[in-house]
Amino acid sequence: MLLDHDPRLSSEPAREQLDALFPFGILLDRSGRIVLAGRTIEKLVPCVEIGGDFQSCFEVLSPSIGISNDGLGALLGEIVVIHAKNAPRPFRLRGQCLKWTGGYLFALTLVLNDLHKIPELGLDFSDFALSDPIFDLLLLVQSERRHGEELRKANEREKLALAKLAMASRLSALGEMSAGIAHEINNPLAIIQMACEQFLDSPDMPTDRAVSIIRRAQNAAMRINRIVTGLRTYARDGTLDDVAPADLAILVRDTLILCENRFRQRGIDLRVGAIPEGTMLECNSVQISQILMNLLGNAMDSVSSGEAAWVRLDFDVAEDRIVIRVTDSGTRLPPEVAQRVMQPFFTTKPVGQGTGLGLPISLGIAEAHGGRLYLDPASENVSFVLELPRRQKK
């Protein structure tokens, strides 16, 4: 055993035993000179050397009796805390002072309050004894760090895949809206063209009539601008956009301008509730617009054209949250459909007309904003509810 072995007779076996049991350990002779030191303590304290004075490198902080005039004998059996005087980085050791045939053994380990400090000391788990609890903790931390890195990469891959799906969904919706958008742009263009022709035909027209024509042309140009702005916003890849305050009324207006003509063409009454002036929402406006577009598109597809067909957009604004409800004139969904409606790739649309990804993507966006998206089971009609916090957590 180490305590019965005199390292001066055979230092290599004793060194191997000391390193295996107490890599922070120190063997002293009766005069307090260092006979042998563990590999880790030598790594941490450059002044430790065979034959050196223990007290020149270390200070006993506890017990308070310290080293008496009789040497280290007063510390035998005591739990000791030791400070390294000349270490590049401050640290403390804790352990017990034991007796061996040639003097004393300080069986020590590192006093540690934060595992993150170990790399700062230039150490890793190989510098600790297998029996040291810190060894097990370090292995656990290393395993969790590796698992955490793998989980982070998996999350990044999932986010990238969802972002691609979201972009594909937006582009698909734009394709469906293209005919209606072309009509929306052609109408104001015709107004502008007519205004130009009136000016060319009557260059000397009265001022009041000229002003009226110019205002009509200006309003038409502004409408085209809003349509193009809405298109650019909706088609943009907003996955990297920072969350920012958005005026809810403007966000809804820019979304509706892209789809309201499709409602008119199908003879569906689109009813939009009032939004209190100045209602602000911290969000990624591109993504919230995508949710609204998806809910409105689903509602439009689910109701039959005719006088009785309608889709209603309602808003409930509170101090800390906003509730947006999209309800259509269709009857509530069957329970077996309602249970699966948020599942990826589930769709009630005919083959080739739906991917089954719109609602799952919208749900993911809502949850990423700290909100919820759900089908209201209490509504007599089909009613989807989007709840969002007005301010995002920092």
pLDDT one-digit tens code per residue, 188-216: 777 787 778 777 777 777 888 778 778 87
23 in a structural domain: yes
| Percent over 70 (pLDDT), the chain | 69
Q: Is the pLDDT of residue 72 over 60?
A: yes
The partner residues of 94 in beta bridges, in order of sequence, read 81, 109
How many structural domains comprise the chain? 2
Q: What is the CATH number of the domain that holds 105?
A: 3.30.450.260
Could you write out the DSSP letters of every residue in 175-192? Answer: HHHHHHHHHHHHHHHHHH
Which structure tokens are listed for 200?
A: 């060319």
Confidence of residue 390 (pLDDT cuts 50, 70, 90): very high
The verdict on 121 and 229 lying in the same domain is no
The verdict on 115 and 170 lying in the same domain is no
- Whole-model pTM: value is 0.47
> 63 or 1: whose pLDDT is higher?
63
235 in a structural domain: yes
CA atoms within 13 A on the CB side of 340: 9
Pairing status of strand 310-317 against strand 269-272: parallel
* 134-138, 306-310, 386-390: least confident range: 134-138
Structural domain harbouring 281? 154-389
The verdict on 169 and 126 lying in the same domain is no
378 in a structural domain: yes
The verdict on 183 and 331 lying in the same domain is yes
> 52 or 132: whose pLDDT is higher?
52
CA atoms within 13 A on the CB side of 9: 6
The verdict on 342 and 194 lying in the same domain is yes
202 in a structural domain: yes
The verdict on 101 and 232 lying in the same domain is no
250 in a structural domain: yes
**Stretch 249-263: mean pLDDT, rounded?**
85
pLDDT score for 145: 59
Q: Is the pLDDT of residue 355 over 70?
A: no
The verdict on 125 and 158 lying in the same domain is no
The verdict on 372 and 326 lying in the same domain is yes
Angstrom distances, CA of residue 161 to CA of 165, 231, 241, 353: 6, 23, 17, 22
The verdict on 199 and 73 lying in the same domain is no
Do residues 58 and 67 make contact, with C-beta atoms less than 8 angstroms apart?
no
Taken in order 239, 245, 311, 315, the sign of the CA dihedral is: positive
348 in a structural domain: yes
Do residues 47 and 116 make contact, with C-beta atoms less than 8 angstroms apart?
no
Q: What is the CATH number of the domain that holds 159?
A: 3.30.565.10
pLDDT one-digit tens code per residue, 210-245: 787 788 777 777 777 766 666 665 555 555 457 889
188 in a structural domain: yes
The verdict on 123 and 200 lying in the same domain is no
Best-predicted range by mean pLDDT among 63-72, 108-117, 222-231, 317-326? 317-326
The verdict on 314 and 167 lying in the same domain is yes
The verdict on 273 and 321 lying in the same domain is yes
145 in a structural domain: no
